[in-house]
């Protein structure tokens, strides 16, 4: 008969909310986007569960359900480990990720109330996307809940085709690294409309025309890379939003709901397979370590056997002693040596008596 899961243990069979991991370059407007998304979800009566993963931010413009700053003191990490800003952020995330099972339990408890869980990541994108803690957090979420990567771009800073291509390459690398549904958010749509982005992604000639004024080596590389990323553009989902006016939020939520279905259909089985392979690998490593321990124990037992086989000898007066070396001398040689020693002692005693007699 199946037993019920303990209350403090995560149960993936229960209702699962959609997790949104918001990442992007520094200054792209991730935190402002999370604030606007939080307001939008409250306005449609679907309040989210928000987790702040940036230990270096001074304050958040939205209410946090879980804040890494309540667990890890960023400045103390810098002092105690003698680290710089980025190193302290990575270390803080590493410390936080060791207790991430508790975060999963808290999210599960609120799954009936909150249909969306938003993770606001540090401003330095590489700190989260290419660190061990970032991979641990992403894989833990993806193996438990429907998870979507939200890549925030600054529309006003990507009007240059070379800069745009650099951002697309980074987005492509994160997509293939995370193996999760991926949505590109063109933020700051109130400053520069994202229409040009759609043209560049869907029309190769339009992007080539934008590169005509660029004559540097990097522009030639960009032309070549645009052909490589053509398949990436065909399957990517993107939407333009404004964190100031709230424009595009309805379209964004529609894409998120579609991405959740995509996760259930295409990604869930793959992640389940990855988790099983990881567990199998850990099991094999554990068995290998156990085999090595058994070999070490056998070696220790062999050493004990050698010690126990050492000769236990008795000296005169039945006083036992352990001989740690193998003696090549026979019993006859030993007896002969003893007789010689006794003869010398007897002669010495006779001389002593003669000296005493002469003195008298």
Nearest to 116 by CA among 10, 241, 260, 268: 260
User: Taking the mean position of all CA atoms in its chain, how far away is CA 44?
Assistant: 35
Distance in angstroms (rounded) separating the CA atoms of residues 246 and 187? 10
Beta bridge partners of 312: 322
Distance in angstroms (rounded) separating the CA atoms of residues 147 and 140? 10
Does residue 201 contact residue 236 with C-beta atoms inside 8 Å?
yes
Distance in angstroms (rounded) separating the CA atoms of residues 344 and 325? 28
Does residue 119 contact residue 20 with C-beta atoms inside 8 Å?
yes
Distance in angstroms (rounded) separating the CA atoms of residues 206 and 230? 13
Span between the terminal Cα atoms of the chain, in Å: 108
Q: How many CB atoms lie within 10 A of CB 123?
A: 18
Q: What angle do CA 314, 317, 321 make, to 5 degrees?
A: 30
Give the tokens for residue 232.
């990436």
Q: How many CB atoms lie within 10 A of CB 221?
A: 12
pLDDT of residue 162: 87
Distance in angstroms (rounded) separating the CA atoms of residues 67 and 147? 20
Distance in angstroms (rounded) separating the CA atoms of residues 257 and 239? 14
pLDDT of residue 17: 92
Does residue 46 contact residue 116 with C-beta atoms inside 8 Å?
yes
Q: How many CB atoms lie within 10 A of CB 201?
A: 21
Per-residue pLDDT of the chain (360 residues; tens, 9 = 90+): 333 334 444 444 456 899 999 999 988 999 999 999 999 999 999 999 999 999 998 889 999 999 999 999 999 999 999 999 889 999 999 999 999 999 999 999 998 889 999 999 998 888 898 889 999 999 899 988 999 999 999 999 999 888 898 899 899 999 989 889 999 999 999 999 999 988 888 888 888 888 887 777 777 778 788 878 877 888 889 999 999 999 999 999 999 999 999 999 888 887 777 778 878 888 888 888 888 877 777 776 666 565 555 544 444 444 444 444 444 455 566 667 777 777 777 777 777 777 766 665
pLDDT of residue 231: 79
pTM of the model: 0.73
99, HSE (Cβ side, Cα atoms, 13 Å): 10
Spatial neighbors of 258 by CB under 8 A, at least 6 apart, are: 237
Q: Mind giving me the DSSP string for 49-69?
A: EEEE--TT-S--SS--SEEGG
């Amino acid at each position: 008969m199946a037993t019920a899961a303990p209350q403090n243990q995560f149960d993936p069979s229960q209702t699962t909310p959609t997790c949104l991991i918001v990442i992007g370059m520094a200054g792209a407007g991730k935190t402002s986007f999370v604030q606007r998304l939080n307001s939008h979800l409250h306005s449609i009566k679907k309040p989210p569960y928000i987790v702040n993963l940036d230990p270096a931010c001074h304050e958040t413009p939205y209410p946090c359900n879980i804040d890494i700053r309540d667990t890890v003191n960023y400045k103390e990490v810098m002092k105690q480990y003698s680290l710089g800003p980025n190193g302290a952020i990575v270390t803080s995330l590493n410390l936080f990720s060791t207790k991430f099972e508790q975060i999963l339990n808290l999210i599960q408890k609120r799954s009936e109330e909150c249909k969306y869980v938003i993770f606001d990541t540090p401003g330095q994108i590489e700190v989260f996307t290419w660190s061990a803690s970032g991979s641990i957090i992403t894989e833990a979420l993806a193996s438990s809940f429907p998870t979507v990567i939200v890549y925030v771009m600054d529309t006003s800073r990507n009007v240059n085709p070379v800069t745009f291509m650099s951002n697309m390459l980074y987005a492509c690398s994160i997509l293939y690294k995370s193996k999760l549904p991926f949505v590109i958010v063109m933020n700051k749509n109130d400053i520069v409309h994202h229409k040009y982005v759609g043209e560049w992604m869907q029309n190769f000639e339009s992007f080539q025309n934008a590169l005509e004024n660029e004559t540097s080596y990097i522009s030639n590389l960009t032309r070549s890379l645009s052909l490589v990323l053509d398949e990436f553009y065909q399957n990517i989902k993107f939407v333009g939003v404004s964190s100031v006016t709230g424009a595009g939020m309805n379209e964004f939520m529609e894409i998120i709901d579609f991405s959740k279905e995509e996760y259930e259909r295409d990604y869930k089985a793959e992640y389940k397979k990855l988790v099983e392979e990881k567990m199998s690998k850990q099991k094999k490593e554990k068995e290998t370590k156990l085999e090595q321990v058994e070999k070490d124990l056998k070696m220790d037992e062999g050493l004990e056997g050698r010690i126990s086989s050492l000769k236990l000898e008795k000296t005169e007066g039945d006083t036992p002693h352990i001989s740690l070396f193998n003696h090549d001398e026979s019993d006859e040689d030993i007896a002969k040596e003893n007789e010689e020693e006794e003869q010398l002692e007897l002669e010495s005693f006779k001389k002593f008596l003669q000296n005493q007699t002469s003195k008298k």
